[in-house]
């Protein structure tokens, strides 16, 4: 691989843009195809399909010989709204999983560096903070404050941005009220159904750390199983 | 992130910019219960230092040996590994899967 191609590949990934590297395993020739350049590529259909599944692999090249397509989708970013006890337990687990975590909470008593050492903290209202952050399809959003004034704007932004994963803490009763508010805000049933609530896999979690584990397990399941399902269907 | 491959490609660029001779191994095809998914990387320098993995540690030794040849002549090659055969000298996968690995030099 040429160093300039490797550098361009790393630059695209650092900018959170999807990119594919096409390699001829025999001759070693390579080209980089940025997300925006796929339509102009001779292998456009196959590259699009690979990108959608996030699956690297061999595809038939123009002359029928296989070429290797390495798919690089942006790494999953985790945004937790609510600098609460569960989030404190979740931060080191997320780091262990290699998830890039940002914690947002306008309540400055909660969002302190003492409570969240080495975590990116934004002590602003979610509307403003998420606007700056820029949600995308490679982001998981967790609404954890129990306070509709803070959680609702974050959930609305996440649904609009079609985030990979959207989860909200709270009982079924709390969620029923939330559903009513989101319906009033113009979201249909399908959109609202994208919210995982109560948040987390049902493992009987009780402590903040156990709830954090249940949440992260559900995020990983969404990332890995949804793609596997797409792979089986595709 | 859930994908340490990112760090390996960044390291590959870093190692090369430091002036080290570097080869990158990539899993390009798997059959059966292969230990590491397609796209996994192993980074090797001319002194045999390495980062990442293409298997559970079963075939890394042989990939590193081949990588040193790739660093030497600059010719990319693909290697195939199957089930471990205890009577053979070749490295193999104890899991019963098969993998194909592309090894290329970073120029």
pLDDT tens digit sequence for A73-99:
887 899 999 999 999 999 999 998 989
ipTM over 0.90: no
* DSSP characters over B13-24: HHHHHTT--EEE
* Number of independent structural domains in chain A: 2
What is the rounded distance in angstroms from the CA atom of residue B93 to the CA atom of residue B1?
28
Q: Which residues of B touch A70 (CB under 8 A)?
A: 26, 39
From the CA of B14, how many Å to the nearest CA of chain A?
Answer: 10
Q: What range does the domain containing A33 cover?
A: 3-72
A172 and A216 in one domain? Answer: yes
Q: Decide if pLDDT at A160 tops 80.
A: yes
Residue that terminates a domain, selected from A29, A47, A72: A72
Q: Is A52 a member of any domain?
A: yes
Q: Is A19 a member of any domain?
A: yes
Burial per residue of A185-216, b for 16 or more beta-carbon CB atoms within 10 angstroms, e otherwise: eebeeebbebbbbbbbbeeebeeebebbbbbb
Q: For residue A190, give the CATH number of its domain.
A: 3.40.50.720
A65 and A39 in one domain? Answer: yes
A171/B contact by beta carbon, under 8 A: no
Q: Is A233 a member of any domain?
A: no
- Is there a contact between B39 and A56 if contact means CB atoms under 8 Å apart? yes
A174 and A107 in one domain? Answer: yes
A165 and A62 in one domain? Answer: no
A143 and A111 in one domain? Answer: yes
Q: Decide if pLDDT at A11 tops 60.
A: yes
Return the pLDDT at B68: 97
From the CA of A45, how many Å to the nearest CA of chain B?
Answer: 20
Q: Is A232 a member of any domain?
A: no
A91 and A51 in one domain? Answer: no
What pTM value is reported for the model? 0.72
CB-defined contacts A:B, below 8 A: 67
pLDDT tens-place string over residues A102-144: 999 999 999 999 999 999 999 999 999 999 998 988 899 999 9
Q: Which residues of B touch A27 (CB under 8 A)?
A: 76
């Amino acid at each position: 691989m040429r160093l300039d191609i490797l550098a361009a590949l790393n630059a695209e990934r650092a900018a959170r843009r999807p990119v594919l590297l096409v390699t001829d395993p025999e001759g070693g020739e390579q080209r980089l195809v940025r997300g925006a350049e796929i339509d102009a590529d001779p292998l456009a259909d196959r590259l699009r399909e690979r990108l959608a599944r996030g699956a690297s692999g061999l595809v038939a090249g123009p002359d029928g010989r296989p070429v290797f397509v390495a798919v690089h989708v942006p790494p999953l970013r985790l945004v937790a709204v609510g600098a609460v006890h569960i989030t404190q337990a979740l931060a080191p687990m997320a780091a262990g999983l290699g998830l890039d975590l940002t914690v947002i909470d306008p309540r400055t008593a909660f969002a302190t560096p003492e409570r969240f050492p080495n975590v990116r903290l934004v002590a602003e209202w979610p509307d403003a903070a998420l606007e700056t952050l820029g949600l995308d399809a490679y982001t998981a959003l967790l609404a954890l404050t129990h306070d509709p004034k803070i959680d609702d704007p974050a959930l609305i932004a996440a649904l609009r941005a079609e985030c990979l994963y959207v989860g909200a803490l709270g009982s079924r009763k709390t969620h029923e009220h939330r559903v009513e508010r989101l319906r009033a805000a113009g979201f249909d049933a399908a959109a609202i159904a994208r919210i995982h609530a109560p948040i987390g896999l049902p493992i009987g979690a009780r402590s903040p750390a156990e709830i954090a584990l249940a949440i992260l397990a559900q995020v990983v399941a969404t990332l890995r199983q949804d793609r596997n399902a797409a792979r089986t269907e595709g | 992130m859930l994908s340490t491959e990112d760090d390996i490609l960044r390291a590959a660029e870093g190692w090369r910019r430091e002036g080290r001779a570097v080869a990158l191994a990539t899993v390009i095809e798997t059959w059966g219960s292969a230990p590491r998914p397609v796209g996994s990387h192993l980074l090797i320098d001319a002194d045999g230092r390495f980062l990442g993995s293409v298997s559970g540690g079963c075939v890394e030794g042989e990939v590193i040996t081949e990588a040193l040849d790739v660093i030497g002549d600059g010719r990319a090659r693909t290697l195939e590994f199957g089930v471990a055969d205890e009577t053979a000298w070749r490295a193999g996968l104890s899991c019963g899967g098969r993998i194909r690995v592309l090894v290329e030099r970073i120029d």
